[in-house]
Structure 1
Amino acid sequence: MSTLEQKSKLLSRWLRHRPDAIGLEIDKHGWVDVAELLLKSAGAGIALTQDELVQIVVDNDKQRFSLNVDRTRIRAAQGHSVDVDLKLPVKTPPPVLFHGTVQKFIASIHRQGLLPGTRRDVHLSATKETAAEVGARRGAAVILVVETHPLLRDGYQFRRSENGVWLIPSVPSKYLRFPDT
Structure 2
Amino acid sequence: MTDHLVNTSKFLSLILRHAPEKIGLALDPQGWADIGQLLALAAQHGRSLSREQLDDVVMRDSKTRYAISADGLRIRANQGHSLSAVDIGLLPSTPPAMLFHGTASRFVDAIRDGGLLAGSRNHVHLSSNRETAVAVGARHGKPVVLTVDAAAMLAQGHVFYVSDNGVWLTQAVPVAFIGFP
TM-score (norm 2): 0.97
Superposed, which structure 2 residues align to 1:105-124 within 5 Å? 105-124=107-126
Partner of 2:62: 61
Distance in 1 between residues matched to 2:9 and 2:72, nearest whole Å: 17
Aligned residue pair count: 179
Distance in 2 between residues matched to 1:33 and 1:176, nearest whole Å: 40
**What is the one-letter code of the residue matched to 2:129?**
T
Distance in 2 between residues matched to 1:154 and 1:117, nearest whole Å: 22
Partner of 1:17: 18
Partner of 1:71: 72
Q: Percent identity?
A: 45
Over residues 27-83 of structure 1, what are the superposed CA-to-partner deviations in whole Å (9 max), with x where a residue is unaligned? 110000001000000001111111111111111000000000111000001000012
- Give the secondary structure class of the aligned counterpart of 1:119: coil
Partner of 1:28: 29
- Give the secondary structure class of the aligned counterpart of 1:74: strand
The runs of at least 4 aligned residues of structure 1 exceeding 6 Å deviation read none
RMSD: 0.8
**What is the one-letter code of the residue matched to 1:73?**
R
Q: 1:97 is matched with which residue: 96, 99, 103?
A: 99
Distance in 2 between residues matched to 1:10 and 1:62, nearest whole Å: 15
* Gapped regions of structure 1 (runs ≥ 5): none
- Give the secondary structure class of the aligned counterpart of 1:144: strand
TM-score (norm 1): 0.97
Partner of 1:39: 40
Distance in 2 between residues matched to 1:25 and 1:150, nearest whole Å: 39
